[in-house]
Structure 1
Amino acid sequence: MRYSDGRYEADIDITVEEWKSMLQNPKIFGPKYLDMILKWYYEIDHRATSQAIMAKYPSELKGTPYNGYVIGLTNRIIKYLNRFEVIGTQGNESKFIVPFEGWYEDYKEGNHFVWKVRDELVQAIEELGLVDEKKFPSEEEELKSYSIENRKDGKIIMRYTTQYERNPINRRNAIRIHGTVCQGCGFDFEKVYGEIGKDYIEVHHIKPLYEGGGSVPINAETDLICVCANCHRMIHRRKDKVLSLKELQKLLLANKN
């Protein structure tokens, strides 16, 4: 395992099909381990600190069980696959790195350690239909989480990031269909920024969610488009009207020169 600028990295080559097999095996993903993974799955971008999860489910969780849970789960995974071991940066084992990615948000201070469910595991969960759409965060929760975070020590951190699609399955399908090149201006994050921009794009509802009167079925091909952050904000720039993709493209063409 490697450590750089607050982030831990390891070469974990577990495939989606392998994760699916293990998720269906109660000797690996017993109830408490599956429940742990799903709690992280339902967080925005499938990531959270252990402290945040504990605070969210105070009636279910006593103490801080997840360090022990992730060690137990990873031991089962390593035994089942029988092809690798996990060695930490100081020679000790760091078992979280198998089902999760991990990093310090404030790495210079060593605070707020985040676990994020690995992409292949997320895909396996979705393909097996283990998802309860009622547990996805609301738009209000997304905005609250991504706009301003009030730390316990009083420090306020402003964040700028994408507002994720309420249902990540819809988001994934939109990207699969439309790709990650902006449909408005043609901006390609990976081409411009390299590896850090790979697979990054924002997903926009053609019809605003608030007009649906609650949960509505989404067709990723016809109801969603993939746009860069700049185009997304211009689409919503006018308070009286959300621009269509054609209107946005017309403005871009008219002001190209």
Structure 2
Amino acid sequence: MLESNSRQYWLWVTRPEYYDSVGSYGGWSCHGDTKKGDLIFLWRAKGKSDIGFLLQAESDAVPDKEWGHSCDYKTLYVFKNPVSIKDLRADSYFNDWSPLKRNLQGKAFEIQENYWIRLNQIAVRKDSDYEKIISPRSSIPTSTTMNFTAKEYASAFYNLQLGPHHMQMLLANYHAPNRTLTATMMANAMGYANYNAANLHYGALGGLIGEELGWNPLPEYKVNVLVDFRKENMEWLWTMKPVVAEAIEALGWNADISAIPEEVEARENEPIYEGAVKKILVNAHERSTMAREKCLLHYGCKCAVCDTKLSDFYGEIAHGRIHFHHIKPLYEIDSEYKIDPIADLRPVCPNCHYIIHLKMPPYSIEEVKEFIKAQRGI
């Protein structure tokens, strides 16, 4: 059985004169960073062009005069219906995978965990017996019941009647650059205290979705129901699964508009209707979901004026909820204006937003900050 630890994953490339002689145990050329316990897919080049074996390193790499480095190995599995180069090229997930871009030309490639996971998913679909060696404790999601479609994800989202808090997490991930963020970034966008809270909440959502889908057993890390992840520069990166993004689009959530539009007083030359104190125009520029999420990912979900988080007062229902203020007055914006979420928008609480718009042109954020300092005697 395969046990989960801090192992690395490798792809060793070999020619027919060598892969035909693979035994239960032996020695093999390897990368110098190979450690005992690492897992290896053996790529059979020339004639096969597929993954023929799963191996495990039985020793750390040692210098080898002929091969550079070598280590001992044992064979864990011989594939009956191997993953081929045709399978890899047919899967857009591998479009940017370095070994494939190099046509598997090389002796050894380290496999990042997200690609290792994907390779295992394909391997199980093609060779169901392979699943028997995967430990339930492994973080590799390989069950054949886990190959869900965007339609199935969309149905799960709909059936669960996800609340605003859950939708906000999904949209933060959807609108992040390359649909990839860290737990720290998620915490910042949602107004959580730290990345542990983001892990907890997003993982819980993944568990709910997984159970609705019938994902059994659920992966060790339940967030894996929604994302593929890899470690980079000491942080885990969450990349939204393509089918999850497609489900969000199918439900129209990506086009959802903010429920908190910015109010703008009418210009002086526009008529005021009888009985009205003033005319209010609702401008749609700041209602772009993408602009909103990018603003939150950059500044965090707290007021740029008073540092208030609405969730501190109202709890979970207010996570990820806040108003958005335009630095450039809306009456100066025409239909052709393209918003820069970082330069043009700031998250502000409803109270500060109201004060900002007490005059025309609006008070600046710095001016309202000074009002607060003066009141507090700072």
Report the TM-score, using the length of structure 1 for normalisation: 0.42
User: By percentage of residues, which structure has more strand?
Assistant: 2
Higher relative contact order (CA 8 A, sep 6+): 1
